Amino acid sequence: MKASKAILYATSGFLVLIWMSAFLISYQTLVAVAVSGGLGYPWAYIWPLCLDCFMTIASLDVIRRELNGEPTLPAWFVVVVITIASTAFNVTQAQTTALSWTVHALAPVVCCVSFEIFMGVLRSHFHQRNMPITFNGPGTPAPKPTTKPTSTKPGKRSRQEITPETRDAIAGYYRLHPGTSYAEASRDIGISRHTVRSVVMRMSTPQQVAGEV
């Protein structure tokens, strides 16, 4: 678990660093484009934000739509169009050589791709930690598992009665996150580790876990 968090933080840090570097390079070029287009201070420094920051907002809207079960195509369309526009404006400042075109086109493309990868990392982490388990399609919350303690004697571990809702919640979780440890599943869905293990052990294969939801 600690190794997984370390990889997550390292990956996120490098992606943010790459995105900031590409953003600054693209921003500097777009300022030159604005000046060439006749914009003066301070508008020449504000104009680039209409492209690169709008692309960032559209990328965030992709995740918002995905989490709410809404169509993501409109947001993706905006991301693609803004990236193409930013790349085209960057290339206008390049020299008439293939190398110069590539150098100027690389910054906005890297800016877009690195941010999308970073959003993918956050999306995956968010799904693992906070997304409700769905059974009837996107945006449909799972029924809250109900558990009843059956033993409260001192010195004995308290157990939970395995209700159909509890079983469905565990099966649904393992359908979305196959290979997850009992401890992590217990923490994510709020059911005791013993109950999680009991339900999973009664199912012969991971496919059966997914198939019985």
Return the pLDDT at 211. 44
pTM (whole model) above 0.95: no
Domain match, 84 and 172 both: no
* 116 & 145 share domain: no
Structural domain boundaries enclosing 170 = 133-213
Burial of 33 (C-beta count, 10 Å sphere; 0-12/13-18/19+): buried
| pLDDT mean by block of 10 residues, the chain; 213 residues | 74 85 88 87 87 83 81 87 89 86 87 82 66 40 46 47 80 78 81 82 55 43
Number of domains in the chain: 2
What contacts 152, CB < 8 A, 6 or more positions away?
Answer: 158
Which among 99, 129, 159 is the end of a domain?
129
